[in-house]
Amino acid sequence: MEGEEQWEADKKRKEDEKRKKESEAQKRKKEDKIEKINNKDDMRKKDGELKMKEAHTEVKKMVAEKKTKAKRKRNEAKIDAS
């Protein structure tokens, strides 16, 4: 009788451990999936910020070019007027 009870207790303990390991594995898998999604979102956000910086730099360059062209025209007009 005692051997049978011991066997049942061992069997139940092993099943509980197995269920616990499976539960932890599923939990880890879910956390990894969430982390992967968050990483993708971060990468998209960084990519978007980089594109915005590049666009801002391009606009700055265009404005600077327009200013220099306008300044050049004013200087040429002054020279022509003299």
pLDDT tens-digit series, residues 5-19 = 888 889 999 999 999
Tokens of 76: 């040429």
What H or E segment, with its residue span, contains residue 31?
Answer: helix 2-81
pLDDT tens-digit series, residues 44-79 = 888 889 999 999 999 999 999 999 999 999 999 888
Classify residue 82 by its DSSP letter: -
Neighbours of 36 (CB within 10 A): 10
d(CA 22, CA 41): 29
